[in-house]
Amino acid sequence: MRRVPPTLIAGGVLVGLVIVAAAISLIWTPADPGHVEVSQRFRPPGDAFALGTDNLGRDVLSRLMVGARNTLLIGIVTVLIAAGLGVPLGGIAALYRGPFEAATMRLADVLLAFPAILLAMLFAAVFRPSTVTAMAAIGIALVPVFARVVRGAGLQVMEQDYVTVARTYGSGQLWIFAHHLLPNVGSVLIVQATVAFAIAILAEAALSYLGLGAPQTTPSWGRMLSEAQSFLSQAPLLALWPGLSIALAVLGFNLLGDGLRDLLDPKLVERVAAQA
Amino acid sequence: MTAVALTVENLTVRVGPIAAVQGVSFQLAAGKRTGLIGESGSGKTLTALALLSLLPDTLSASGHVIYEGMDLLTLNERALCRLRGDRLAMIFQEPMTALNPVMKIGQQVAEPLQLHRGLSAAAAQAAALRMLEHVRIPDAAEKMHAYPHQLSGGQRQRAMIAMAMACSPAILIADEPTTALDVTVQAQILHLLSDLVDEHGSTLLLITHDLPVVATVCERVIVLYGGHIVEEGTVDDVFSAPRHPYTRALLDAIPALDEELPSRKLAAIPGSVPGLGQFPPGCPFRNRCPRATHVCETMPALEGDGHRAACWHPLP
Amino acid sequence: MTGIAFSVDHVSRHFVLPRSTLFGARRTLTAVDDVTFDLQREETLGIVGESGSGKTTLVKLLLGLERPDGGSIAYHGASLRRDVQVVFQDPASALDPRMRVEDIILEPLRVLRISGDHRARVRELMSAVGLPLSSVSHYPHEFSGGQRQRIAIARALAPHPRVLIGDEPVSALDVSVRAQILNLLEDLRVGFQLTLVLVSHDLSVVRHMTDRVLVMQRGRVVEEGETRSVFRRPQHPYTQLLLDSIPRLPQASRR
C-alpha cells in the first residue's frame, strides 16, 4: 500500500550502524579505549589497531565505538530538551496569539541571543562542567529554533477552516493542539529535529574543546575531531575517522528524518482504489 | 466578411504525455467579443497562455496561432516581447499576484508605454494618469503613487486593465477578470471592459466559467470541456438553442433569477469533472452525458455552419 | 417543529484595528451593526452581501465563535455546540489533510462526547451525502472539491444538528458540481428537518433556495423579507443595485 521511502531505508541503515556500534561498545571493544600507551602513539591503521592510534596511543576504533554512545546521547537528549520546551512554546504562541504570542516569542528571542557557549560557561560556573551541562546548554540554546518553526507552521494551520469548524463543536485549545496543530507541523518538526541533531553534535565538540563539556577522559566524536586538529600534520587520518563518523551520522539522521516525514505524509500515499 | 484578428489552428498543449488542450481550432473576429467557457480541467487557461506563448517550460504547445500572418508559436522570445503588451495583452483573475507589489501603480501602467511606445518617463507618467482616469479610478492622481495593496480589489483590477489597454492592443485576453470580485464591482468592471474594447477597437477573448457573464458581455461563445471545443457560435444561438448536451446541462444547472421553478431541486450533472489525464477517451463528456452511446468512444468533429457542436447526438 | 431557533437582538460587533502609525488614533471597524432578526425553525434563510457586509462575522456570532459587543443573541435549544453546525466555502481548507475521512466525520462526536455506535453513524452519514463507504479510510487530497464538500457536510451532520449554516458552500466548486451540492443540501434539509442558513453572494442561488432573505451592507441589514418579494420588489436601493448588477442569461435559454 504505502511505499517505504528509500530515504528512510538509507537513513535507517546509517543510523542503525551508529546504534549497533554504540550497543556493541557496551559489552566489547577491540581494545580498552582509555588505555594510554605513549609508545604506540600515531600508529597508522594496521592489524593491532584497525584504525590506528591517537596522540596518546589509544585505539581509535574503540574510542569511536564508545564515542558513538556519547554522540547519540548528546544529540538525542539535546533535541529532546530543545523540542520539549520549544514545541509547547511555539504552540502556545500560535494557539493563543495576542500577548501570549508576543511574550513567548520574546522569550525565544532572548534565548536566541544567548550563544550556547555562554550558557555552557554559565552552567559550568555553577555546576561542574560535564556532558549534562553541555547538553542542557545546547538544548536551551536550540529552543528558539523549535519555537519559531512550530509557531510559523502552526499559524498557517490555525488559519485553516477545519480548525474553525473544530471550535464550532467545542474543541478546546488542547484538543486543537494535539489533534490538528501538532500532526500538521509534524513534518517540519522532524526535519528541524534532524538539523538540530547535527548542530548539537558539532556544538558539543566545540564545548568539549573549550573544556566546557565532557571531561577529558570521555570520548566523543566531537572531541576526537577537535583534538585531532592539533595533530593534522603528524596524523591527518586522526581527523578523518571522527569527521567521517559525524558526517555519516548526521547524514543518516537527515535521511531518516526525510524518510519519516515522507512516510507520514498522507499525500504521498499511493492510491489503491479508483477515485470515489 | 469581418476581418479575422486571430486564427488558432489545431492547438494542442501537453503536460508531459497528457494533452490538456486537444486540437483546438477557432477564429477571433476583429473587434468582436468572444467568450471562452470552461470549468476546471477544460484547458481554458492553458489555451489563453498558449496564445501568448506564456506557457511554463514544462508544457509544450503545438499547432498554429496566426496573428497578422505570423505564427506566434514559431516566433522567438524577442519578437514575442515586442508584441506582448503592445498588440497582445492579457489580464488575470487575481490582481494581487498580477501586479508588482513593490511598484507604484502609476509606474506599472507607464511601463508598457515606455517599453513599446518609447515614451520618456515623464510622458509615460502623464499617459498613465490619463489611462487611470479612463478606467475610472477615483482620485487617479493620488492613486498613481499608491502600491497595489493600498487599493481595493476592484481598483486593482481597473489598474490591471489600464496596464493592458495602455498601448491599445489589437487583442485583449481576459482570464476570469471578475471572478474574485463582488457582484456590484463585477458589473462595473465588465461594463468598463466592454466600453474600452469597443473604444479601442480591440478584440476581446473573455475566459470564464460564468455563463451569464458571457451572455452579458460577449457576442460569440466557445464552450470548452476536457481540452476540446464542444460547442461554438453566437451567444444568442448557443444559449437559446444549445446543441451540445454539456452546454444544455450547464444552462439547466443555473437557478433562474426571475422565474419560479416548480421545485428547489436543480438539474444537476452527475459525477464530477475528471482530473488531468482522467477524461475518458473519445468524447470527454461521455461518462456524464445522458445521451452517450458507444459511438461516443470516438471523439466527434466540430460540425455545423456558424453554430458548431462536436457531438454524435446533438440536441435538435 | 415550529418555533424560533435564534433570536438576534440589536447585535453589534466591533473590531479594534492596529494603529497605522505609532501615535495615531485607534480605528474601530464595525463588522456587524445593530442587526435584529429571528431565525424560524425549519426555514431557509438567505444572507446576501458583498465583502465587508458583515455576513461572515454574523455567521461566527451565530456559531458562538464570537460574542456580540452590543445586543444579544440567543439560541433556543438544548446545546448550541451540538445543534448548530457549519459548512464553509473552501473545500481545500475544510478538512484536516492529516486525518482520514472517518476520523474527520467522527471528530464532532468525540469532542462533544456523544456515545453510540460510531461505525453505524459513519455509514449513515456517508450514505446521506452520497459517498461510497470505502472512502472513509482515505485522505482528503484524494477527493475532488465537490466530494470534499460532501465530507464537510457529513461532518456537520454527525452530531444531529438542528441548524446548518452554509457560508458560501458552493462558490468554490465547479459550475457543473454546484447544483449537485445544492440539491444535496435541500434533500438533507427536508430529510432531517433542518433549519438552513445560506450565506451567498450568488443571488440566483439565494433566490432559488431560500424562504426569507437578509440583505446586508456594511454591517447593517438594509432589507429583510420573503425572498420572492424582496427580489420582485426590492425596497432598498442597495438591494436594487445588487439585482441590477447580476449578469443574466438571455430569457430564451430557459427550457
Q: Give the nearest partner residue to B213 out of C204, C205, C247, using CB atoms.
A: C247
Are the CB atoms for A65 and A122 separated by under 8 Å? no
Cα–Cα distance between A10 and A259 in angstroms, integer? 9
The yes-or-no verdict on residue A272 having pLDDT over 50 is no
Cβ <8 Å between C50 and B184: yes
Cβ <8 Å between B272 and C174: yes
Going from the C-alpha of A122 to that of each of A58, A201, C78, the distances in angstroms are 32, 20, 59
Q: In the structure, what pLDDT confidence band is assigned to residue B197 with cuts at 50, 70 and 90?
A: very high
CB atoms within 10 A of CB A262: 19
Distance in angstroms between the alpha carbons of the first and the last residue of chain C? 37
β-sheet bridge partners, residue C108: none
Cβ <8 Å between A165 and C152: yes
pLDDT digits (tens, 9 = 90+) for B97-132: 889 999 999 999 999 999 998 899 999 999 999 999
Among residues B137, B314, B126, B125, the alpha carbon closest in space to that of B238 is found at B314
Are the CB atoms for A6 and A199 separated by under 8 Å? no
DSSP string, A4-59: PPHHHHHHHHHHHHHHHHHHHHHH--SS-TT---GGGTTPPS-SSSTT-B-TTS-B
pTM: 0.88
Among residues A135, A163, A124, the alpha carbon closest in space to that of A70 is found at A135
Cβ <8 Å between A269 and C139: yes
Q: Is C37 exposed, middle or buried (0-12, 13-18, 19+ CB in 10 A)?
A: middle
C133 and chain A in contact, CB less than 8 A: no
Element (H, E) at B174: strand B171-175
Cβ <8 Å between C203 and B257: yes
Q: In the structure, what pLDDT confidence band is assigned to residue C52 with cuts at 50, 70 and 90?
A: confident
Cβ <8 Å between C51 and B153: yes
Q: In the structure, what pLDDT confidence band is assigned to residue B260 with cuts at 50, 70 and 90?
A: low
Are the CB atoms for B310 and B230 separated by under 8 Å? yes
Q: What residue of B is the nearest CA neighbor of C142?
A: B275
The yes-or-no verdict on residue B264 having pLDDT over 80 is no
pLDDT of the residue at A164: 95
Are the CB atoms for B285 and B269 separated by under 8 Å? no
pLDDT digits (tens, 9 = 90+) for A234-262: 888 888 888 898 889 888 888 988 888 88
- Please state which of the ranges A189-193, A262-266, C98-102 shows the lowest mean pLDDT: A262-266
pLDDT digits (tens, 9 = 90+) for A59-116: 888 889 998 888 888 889 999 999 999 999 999 999 998 888 888 888 888 888 877 7
CB atoms within 10 A of CB B130: 13
Tell me which chain A residues have a C-beta less than 8 angstroms from the C-beta of C96. Answer: 160, 162, 179-180, 183-184
pLDDT of the residue at C18: 77
Query: Mean pLDDT across chain A, nearest whole number?
Result: 85
The yes-or-no verdict on residue C247 having pLDDT over 50 is yes
Strand segments, DSSP code E, in C77-219 are 84-87, 163-167, 195-200, 212-217
Assign A89 to helix, strand or coil: helix
pLDDT of the residue at A269: 61
B&C contacts, CB < 8 Å: 125
B183 and chain C in contact, CB less than 8 A: yes
The mean pLDDT of C105-132, rounded to a whole number, is: 95
Assign B239 to helix, strand or coil: helix
Strand B228-234 with B220-225, pairing: antiparallel
Residue B103 grid coordinates: 511598484
- The alpha carbon dihedral of C175, C180, C186, C189 has a sign of negative
* Neighbour subunits, C (≥3 Cβ pairs < 8 A): A, B
pLDDT digits (tens, 9 = 90+) for A168-184: 999 999 999 999 999 99
Cβ <8 Å between B183 and C209: no
pLDDT of the residue at B190: 94
Assign B164 to helix, strand or coil: helix
- DSSP at C250: -
Q: In the structure, what pLDDT confidence band is assigned to residue C229 with cuts at 50, 70 and 90?
A: very high
Residue B313 grid coordinates: 447526438
Cα–Cα distance between C196 and C192 in angstroms, integer? 11
C114 and chain A in contact, CB less than 8 A: no
Among residues A105, A103, A88, the alpha carbon closest in space to that of A144 is found at A105
Cβ <8 Å between C186 and B190: no
Adjacency order of strands within the sheet including B203-208: B88-91, B171-175, B203-208, B33-37, B220-225, B228-234, B307-309, B303-305
> Which of C:233-252 have CB within 8 Å of B?
241-250, 252
* Neighbour subunits, A (≥3 Cβ pairs < 8 A): C
Query: Which residue has cell 465530507?
Result: C151
β-sheet bridge partners, residue B223: B37, B231
Cα–Cα distance between A155 and A163 in angstroms, integer? 11
pLDDT of the residue at C254: 60
Strand segments, DSSP code E, in B3-84 are 4-15, 18-29, 33-37, 59-67, 70-71
Are the CB atoms for B146 and B155 separated by under 8 Å? no
- DSSP at B11: E
pLDDT digits (tens, 9 = 90+) for A118-148: 887 888 788 877 788 888 888 998 999 999 9
Q: Of A202-206, B9-13, B151-155, C15-19, which one has max mean pLDDT?
A: B9-13
C147 and chain B in contact, CB less than 8 A: yes
> Which of C:9-48 have CB within 8 Å of B?
none
- DSSP at A216: T
Measured in whole angstroms, the distance separating CA B211 from the mean position of its chain's CA atoms is: 12
Q: Give the nearest partner residue to C174 out of B39, B188, B260, using CB atoms.
A: B39
**Chain A positions with Cβ closer than 8 Å to C:** 159-162, 164-171, 175, 179-180, 183-184, 186, 266-267, 269, 271, 273, 275-276
pLDDT digits (tens, 9 = 90+) for A16-52: 999 999 999 888 888 887 788 888 788 888 877 888 8
β-sheet bridge partners, residue C8: C37, C73
Tell me which chain C residues have a C-beta less than 8 angstroms from the C-beta of B234. Answer: none
Query: Which residue has cell 452517450?
Result: B292
Element (H, E) at C31: strand C27-40
β-sheet bridge partners, residue B305: B307
Cβ <8 Å between A183 and C96: yes
Going from the C-alpha of B270 to that of each of A1, A172, B43, C46, C160, the distances in angstroms are 30, 39, 21, 26, 27
Those residues with Cβ within 8 angstroms of residue A59's Cβ, 6 or more apart along the chain or in another chain: A29, A30, A31, A32, A33, A35, A49, A50, A51, A53
Q: Which of B176, B183, B209, B246 to mutate to test the interface with C (most CBs of C within 10 A)?
A: B183
Strand B70-71 with B59-67, pairing: antiparallel
Cα–Cα distance between C80 and C84 in angstroms, integer? 6
Query: Mean pLDDT across chain B, nearest whole number?
Result: 91
Residue A24 grid coordinates: 556493541
Are the CB atoms for A175 and A245 separated by under 8 Å? no
Cα–Cα distance between B159 and B10 in angstroms, integer? 34
Element (H, E) at C127: helix C118-128
Are the CB atoms for A228 and A79 separated by under 8 Å? no
Cβ <8 Å between B272 and C146: yes
Cα–Cα distance between A181 and A94 in angstroms, integer? 9
Tell me which chain C residues have a C-beta less than 8 angstroms from the C-beta of B261. Answer: 208
Cα–Cα distance between C4 and C1 in angstroms, integer? 10
Strand B307-309 with B303-305, pairing: antiparallel
Are the CB atoms for A134 and A127 separated by under 8 Å? no
* Neighbour subunits, B (≥3 Cβ pairs < 8 A): C
The mean pLDDT of C198-220, rounded to a whole number, is: 93
Cα–Cα distance between C233 and C2 in angstroms, integer? 28
Q: In the structure, what pLDDT confidence band is assigned to residue A276 with cuts at 50, 70 and 90?
A: very low
DSSP string, C159-199: T--SEEEEESTTTTS-HHHHHHHHHHHHHHHHHHT-EEEEE
Cα–Cα distance between C255 and C249 in angstroms, integer? 12
B235 and chain C in contact, CB less than 8 A: yes
Q: Which of A165, A167, A187, A275 to mutate to test the interface with C (most CBs of C within 10 A)?
A: A165
What value of ipTM does the predicted structure carry? 0.90
pLDDT of the residue at A2: 64
Tell me which chain C residues have a C-beta less than 8 angstroms from the C-beta of A169. Answer: 81-82, 85, 107-108, 111-112, 159
Those residues with Cβ within 8 angstroms of residue A171's Cβ, 6 or more apart along the chain or in another chain: A179, C107, C111
Tell me which chain A residues have a C-beta less than 8 angstroms from the C-beta of C84. Answer: 168
Residue C238 grid coordinates: 442597495
- The alpha carbon dihedral of A194, A195, A197, A198 has a sign of positive
